[in-house]
Chains A and B, each alone.
Chain A
Amino acid sequence: MAAVVLSEAEKLYIVHGVQEDLRVDGRGCEDYRCAEVETDVVSNTSGSARVKLGETDILVGIKAEMGTPKLEKPDEGYLEFFVDCSSNSPELEGRGGEELGTDIANTLYRVFSCENSVDLKSLCINPKEHCWVLYVDVLLLECGGNIFDAISIAVKAALFNTRIPKVRVLEDEEGTKEIELSDDPYDCIRLNIDEVPCVVTLSKIGYRHVVDATLQEEACSLASLLISVTSKGAITSMKKVGKGSLDPESIFEMMETGQRVGKSLHIALQKILDEEENLGTSRPKVGFLG
């Protein structure tokens, strides 16, 4: 991750502030930074979203393509994640960026490993032969701390925006199957994102934990817990990151906070996505210029 160099005095300042529930930019320990979410920013994809969480900028594009289902699950489609961080900073070009990218992709696979996050059976066209594969490509445009949260919000918004064309399978007398795409470009299936989880990263600073840490706060924290929460409050995955260790009691407290914060995050995100949906084509597009 792009590291920021802090002096001991600065670290002490941040730690003491967090003990009093006061962070450097005036937030409380459980507040998120100002976030902007916009969907449908890239026109060549089946679905896309851009999230700006403070300084962190993430762009997600989803392309739906036809492929063969996996051997163990012949009647389901699947998701493939790819994360690219090379545009972030010079130290992340080449090998460094590749390692961070695979790390984030593995975390996304783990977060979405729960069977009912995305309805994979609706992505099946022909069992054992054809299915929809959703290639989710994440671009890390700028890293300003807390990238996992921003990426999961962007993936959820992009999945909401994804439009998969409807196909019909026609079978001849000889048994050869033909795939027919419907002529109407607006005739498509949408995904149900009620069960898609969002990641909440809780960083341990001193004796308390904070949500949505900036780069400076991440430099002061030795251990963080990544929790993925669904909108109903169920936890679907947990991972500890960092060089330090955590007290079991802290982990229990962090899970409670994560569930609370995650639920309110889902409500806020769903409100924005519904507003965008209702505006439809008359929505003013901000894109990259705003």
Chain B
Amino acid sequence: MPLDHRRLRGPEESQPPALWAAAAAEDEEDGEGAGAVPRDPCALRPLFARAGLLSQAQGSAYVELGSGTKVLCAAWGPREAAEPGPGRLLCEFRRAPFAGRGARSRPGAAAEREAEREAAAALREALEPAVRLGRYPRARLAVSALLLQDGGSALAAAVSAAALALADAGVEMYDLAVGCALCRPAAPAAAWMLQPAEPEERRAAARLTLALLPALNQVSAVLGGGRGGPPEDWAQALRLGLDGCHRQYPVLRQSLLRAAQRRDAAAAAAATSA
């Protein structure tokens, strides 16, 4: 978003009032949490995916998770690049300024750009094994993901949306990359939970994001950190995540199929009316 230098943009430093209300709110939240039914750690939240919604981009996809995460992704097919060599995949990840629950992040802030660059690098790691870059020598493929609302598991949703957008753009791929996130709360022998919501992710002691190519059963990205414990715990988390990816795969395939059917119907209607 371009900055308008003629306007007074307000104070340089601003803080959300929620920071000072944190003490009172935390007690309320904990009280509610203890009384509420603990959620099933292996339950997958409802996933809504739709491909082919932007008319300007060659391929696009929108993924929404039950916890409120909304990601919109657009992809552009091969464009001529000056550098020789195999094709390159350029990924971009942007967060809307109002996406997070905490303070509004200023759009040009350095910390914001760092986080976006890191997420873009992770996105590229996850998608490169899936795309047949050898078929596009001297070409550039661009993918741009926009996070509209962060309700937890944002990177995982972005991976799925980006893979869908690339497939929708007609780029040759080995398989769709499906993303899944897990987290583990701070309690001593807590179990790993699939697709955490934002409050769970914030309070987690360890987080893990995976991307899988389900048909080939190959893991294309692993990104995790925190107090996980011995390798057996992480192995168990990985297995749970892989299972979650396999279960989400049919939904993504269906959305791609529907988008192709819609496009065919629209083309047929345009042909008959012309």
Which residues 170-216 of B sit at the A interface, judged by CB distance below 8 A? 205, 208, 213, 216
Q: How far is the CA of A246 from the CA of B229 in the complex (A)?
A: 22
Subset of 28 A-B contacts with CB under 8 Å = A102-B117, A106-B121, A110-B223, A110-B225, A111-B225, A113-B226, A114-B225, A115-B205, A115-B227, A223-B129, A234-B228, A234-B229, A235-B228, A235-B229, A237-B225, A238-B225, A239-B224, A240-B220, A240-B222, A241-B125, A245-B130, A245-B216, A246-B222, A247-B219, A251-B238, A252-B235, A255-B231, A259-B230
B218 at the interface (CB under 8 A from A): yes
B234 at the interface (CB under 8 A from A): yes
A264 at the interface (CB under 8 A from B): no
A187 at the interface (CB under 8 A from B): no
Closest to B227 in A: A114
**Shortest distance from the beta carbon of A67 to any chain B beta carbon, whole Å:** 15
Q: Which residues of B contact A237 (CB under 8 A)?
A: 224-226
B164 at the interface (CB under 8 A from A): no
Closest to B224 in A: A238
Count of A residues near B, CB < 8 Å? 35
Chain A 237-268 against B: per-residue CB contact (8 Å), 1 yes, 0 no?
11111111111100110011011000000000
Q: Which residues of B contact A234 (CB under 8 A)?
A: 227-230
Q: How far is the CA of A246 from the CA of B114 in the complex (A)?
A: 27
Q: Is the CB of A236 within 8 A of B228?
A: yes
B155 at the interface (CB under 8 A from A): no
Which residues 195-246 of A sit at the B interface, judged by CB distance below 8 A? 223, 225, 233-246
B118 at the interface (CB under 8 A from A): yes
A19 at the interface (CB under 8 A from B): no
Closest to B16 in A: A71
Q: Is the CB of B228 within 8 A of A255?
A: no
Q: How far is the CA of A122 from the CA of B6 in the complex (A)?
A: 46
**Shortest distance from the beta carbon of B19 to any chain A beta carbon, whole Å:** 6
Pick the residue among A106, A114, A233, A246 that contacts B219 (CB under 8 A). Answer: A246
Q: Is the CB of A245 within 8 A of B224?
A: no
Q: Is the CB of B217 within 8 A of A248?
A: yes
Given A71-B15, A238-B208, A245-B213, do A259 and B128 touch, yes or no (CB 8 Å)? no
The main secondary structure of chain A at its interface with chain B is mixed
Q: Is the CB of A251 within 8 A of B226?
A: no
Q: How far is the CA of A246 from the CA of B225 in the complex (A)?
A: 19
Q: Which residues of A contact B235 (CB under 8 A)?
A: 252, 255
Count of B residues near A, CB < 8 Å? 34
A274 at the interface (CB under 8 A from B): no
Q: Which residues of B contact A103 (CB under 8 A)?
A: 121
A interface list, Cβ under 8 A from B: 71-72, 102-103, 106, 110-111, 113-116, 223, 225, 233-248, 251-252, 255-256, 258-259
Q: How far is the CA of A84 from the CA of B238 in the complex (A)?
A: 34
Q: How far is the CA of A248 from the CA of B235 in the complex (A)?
A: 9
Q: How far is the CA of A246 from the CA of B231 in the complex (A)?
A: 17
Pick the residue among B223, B225, B231 that contacts A256 (CB under 8 A). Answer: B231
Q: Is the CB of A248 within 8 A of B230?
A: no
Q: Is the CB of A248 within 8 A of B226?
A: no
Q: Is the CB of B238 within 8 A of A248?
A: yes
Q: Is the CB of A246 within 8 A of B218?
A: yes
Q: Is the CB of A106 within 8 A of B114?
A: yes
Q: Is the CB of B242 within 8 A of A102?
A: no
Q: Is the CB of B128 within 8 A of A243?
A: yes
Q: How far is the CA of A247 from the CA of B218 in the complex (A)?
A: 5
Closest to B130 in A: A245
Q: Which residues of B contact A244 (CB under 8 A)?
A: 129
Q: How far is the CA of A244 from the CA of B128 in the complex (A)?
A: 7
**Shortest distance from the beta carbon of A222 to any chain B beta carbon, whole Å:** 9
Chain B 236-249 against A: per-residue CB contact (8 Å), 1 yes, 0 no?
00110010000000
**Shortest distance from the beta carbon of B67 to any chain A beta carbon, whole Å:** 22
Q: Is the CB of A248 within 8 A of B221?
A: no
Q: Is the CB of B230 within 8 A of A102?
A: no
Q: Which residues of A contact B218 (CB under 8 A)?
A: 245-247
Pick the residue among A111, A233, A240, A248 that contacts B242 (CB under 8 A). Answer: A248
